[in-house]
Chains A and B, each alone.
Chain A
Amino acid sequence: MSAAPRLLLWLLPALTGLAVLAGWEALVRHFAVPPYVLPGPVAVARALAEDWPLLSASLLATLRIALLALLAAVTVGGLLAVLFAQSRWVERALFPYAVVLQVTPIVAIAPLILIWVDDVTLALLLCAWIVAFFPILSNTVLGLNSADRNLEELFRLYGATRWQALWLLRLPAALPFFLAGLRVAGGLSLIGAVVAEFVAGAGGTGSGLAFRILEAGYQLRIPRMFAALALISACGIAIFAALGLVQHLLLRRWHESALGREG
């Protein structure tokens, strides 16, 4: 692609966003909408700047929960997947319960977890982990079972041990699947953290962004509410982009999915 269209590719969505923000601000000003109903982007930006010490602390709290949950999801999901791939019986015995955990809405389980687990951070972490681990588990299981059949025969021909087949064949074959799951899990861990914070925040405890949204709602500080919302979105975009970069760097030399980007 030549330079001009590539620039346009980035410029176009940016200009659309700016136009929407400008239109929003103009409407709010023209109809004199009170800020506790709908604040304009300028008011939201001002709230973001003024409340930055408070909001940034909350941002860090939420981000910490989300990233720790993602780390736990990678560890537990990945290890379980390897275990499942080693034994069909273990998979048969446990996989249905992983599905149960996945399909039960986290909003419904979160209050229970908050009652059972005294430590709020741990409870939040557990909620976010439950939401995030399934895509990693299911994708990695699929990936571990997707190694080229002929390559598996070749490994057998040369007398590869189970460990060699896992390490040299099945794990690398599973990597693209795992990374796709990781990208989904990244977004989900943030959603899980926010949902759990909402449930915890409704009970009066919390310090994350979701709690700030609740608090701002009670106090009718709608610009701050919008500012917190914008931060959550930005967080989600940043996690998605960072994991996308990891995916690209790990796969660019060999995987078809990275083919288009090299040109």
Chain B
Amino acid sequence: MTAAAPLVSLGGVARRFGNGTLALAGLDLAIEAGEFLSILGPSGCGKSTLLRLLAGLLAPSEGRIDWPRGHPGRRGIGFVFQDPTLMPWADALANARLPLRLAGLPRAEQEARGRAALAAVGLAGFERAYPRELSGGMRMRVSLARALVTRPALLLMDEPFAALDEITRHRLNDELLALWQGSGMTVVFVTHSVFESVYLATRIVVMAARPGRVAAVLPVAAPMPRPPGFRTSAAYAALCREASAALERAMAA
């Protein structure tokens, strides 16, 4: 752990829904600036609720969420949903520049930054394509471009690649790591895949369900960027075993 103040810290956070369901209870977690944090847990453990709390889309029922370095602001947080969640009536560029449009930035700047964001996710030349004309992986790239277009300090991702095929998922994993590296951006990546969380994260938070809470925190001691062949290395397998065991303990608890 670094001695510097975390980007955001949650203390005793609970979230109860209108129907009485306790999605999160007594959740303590500090998210360090610049880390790639993966939230790993079974479905129903409140992973998505945690992301929505961080995004400010939900307020905690109990506890507090502090931003010691100051709140990154409305456009300082990017969100990528499980589905691409694109506007089907708008082309890739219009989708990618949406956050800037909502911010009221000049049209020329919206377009330039939108194009740059699309290029960064490998979609240069697809600016005028409509979501329907793109593959699932490409739609997810547009969604990623839209989240990155504001150059957020914090990127929240809610199982973004879960619906993609494995080959596409692996490629997007590598590209996401490349985008994150050297950007200074903090990523919180929710997944239910042990392999994905180990591959991507610098630290894994394992959550237990009913009510959602932190069960274990595992640092991932592996070089970044991931060396070629990392997926098939013994080190990767050992880390996956460790994360898997932690997840099983969390689910048994």
With A150-B81, A150-B83, A150-B85 as contacts: A158 and B130 at CB distance below 8 Å: no
- The interface of chain B, by Cβ under 8 A from chain A, is 52, 55-57, 74-75, 77, 79, 81, 83, 85, 87-90, 98-99, 101-103, 130-132, 150
Closest Cβ–Cβ distance, residue A236 to chain B (whole Å): 30
A-B contact count (CB 8 A): 56
The answer to whether A159 and B85 have CB atoms under 8 Å apart is: no
**Count of A interface residues, CB-CB < 8 Å:** 22
The verdict on A160 contacting chain B, using a C-beta distance below 8 Å, is: yes
- How far, in angstroms, from A164 to B98 measured CA to CA in the complex? 11
Most chain-A CB neighbours within 10 Å: which of B83, B130, B132? B132
Closest Cβ–Cβ distance, residue A78 to chain B (whole Å): 17
Stretch of A38-46, A60-68, A167-175 contacting B (4+ beta carbons < 8 Å): A167-175
Other than the given A151-B87, A158-B74, 18 more pairs (CB < 8 A) read A151-B85, A153-B52, A155-B102, A156-B57, A157-B55, A157-B56, A158-B75, A158-B98, A159-B74, A159-B102, A168-B87, A168-B101, A172-B87, A175-B89, A254-B89, A254-B90, A255-B88, A255-B89
Task: Report chain A residues within 8 Å CB of B83.
Answer: 150
With A168-B101, A254-B131 as contacts: A154 and B85 at CB distance below 8 Å: yes
Closest Cβ–Cβ distance, residue A174 to chain B (whole Å): 11
- How far, in angstroms, from A27 to B201 measured CA to CA in the complex? 84
- 27 CB < 8 A contacts A-B: A153-B52, A154-B79, A154-B81, A154-B85, A156-B57, A157-B55, A157-B57, A157-B74, A157-B77, A158-B74, A158-B98, A158-B99, A159-B74, A159-B103, A160-B102, A164-B102, A168-B102, A172-B87, A175-B89, A253-B130, A253-B132, A254-B88, A254-B89, A254-B130, A254-B131, A255-B88, A259-B132
Closest Cβ–Cβ distance, residue B167 to chain A (whole Å): 26
- How far, in angstroms, from A256 to B131 measured CA to CA in the complex? 11
